[in-house]
Amino acid sequence: MAKIQFIDFGGTARTVEAEPGSTVMEAAIKNGVPGIEAECGGACACATCHVYIEPDWQEKVGPPSSMEEDMLDFAFDVRPNSRLACQIQVKAELDGLTVRTPEKQA
């Protein structure tokens, strides 16, 4: 299991356990983390699981694919460290990953 920390727009941090092979979005939904909506259920089709990767983790997480980059056009306040949580696969190296959720998803 890997630990993933979500920090919401107000600054509250929540840490959850995520299974390797699942996605960061699934870890949030399973644990009822607020700030992630995932309307489309992980199809990379709605941009409501938008997160900001903490700078220390950006290199390990990597950049979005071109399909994800296109979908980020539907998110608000997109920054260079923006990703869609449904497209980040949990793996051992990401143990301790910290992401921030935006003010509004949809």
Partner 1 sequence: MTETIKTDCLIIGAGPVGLFAVFELGLLDIRAHVVDILDKIGGQCAELYPEKPIYDIPGFPTVTGQGLIDNLMKQIEPFGAQFHLNEMVSEVETLGTATAPLFRVKTNGDTVFETKTILIAAGGGSFQPKKPPIPEIEAYEQESVYYAVRKIETFRDRSVLIVGGGDSALDWTLNLVPVAKRVTLMHRRDDFRAAPHSVEQMRALVRDEKMDLKIGQATRLEGQEGRLSSVICRDNDGGEFAVACDAMLPFFGLTMKLGPIADWGLSLNENLIPVDTEKFETSVPGIFAIGDINTYPGKLKLILSGFHEGALAAQKVQRYVYPDRRVTFQYTTSSTSLQKKLGVA
Q: Which residues bind partner 1 (CB under 8 A)?
A: 39-41, 43, 45-48, 69-70, 72-78, 80, 103-104, 106
Cβ distance to partner 1 smaller for residue 16 or 40: 40
- Terminal CA-to-CA distance of the chain, rounded, Å? 30
CA–CA distance, 101 with 52 (Å, rounded to integer): 6
Cβ distance to partner 1 smaller for residue 38 or 97: 38
Could you tell me the smallest distance in angstroms from the CB atom of residue 6 to partner 1?
Answer: 19
CA–CA distance, 55 with 39 (Å, rounded to integer): 27
Could you tell me the smallest distance in angstroms from the CB atom of residue 72 to partner 1?
Answer: 8
Cβ distance to partner 1 smaller for residue 56 or 77: 77
| Residue among 69, 93, 94 at smallest CA distance from 82 | 69
Could you tell me the smallest distance in angstroms from the CB atom of residue 68 to partner 1?
Answer: 11
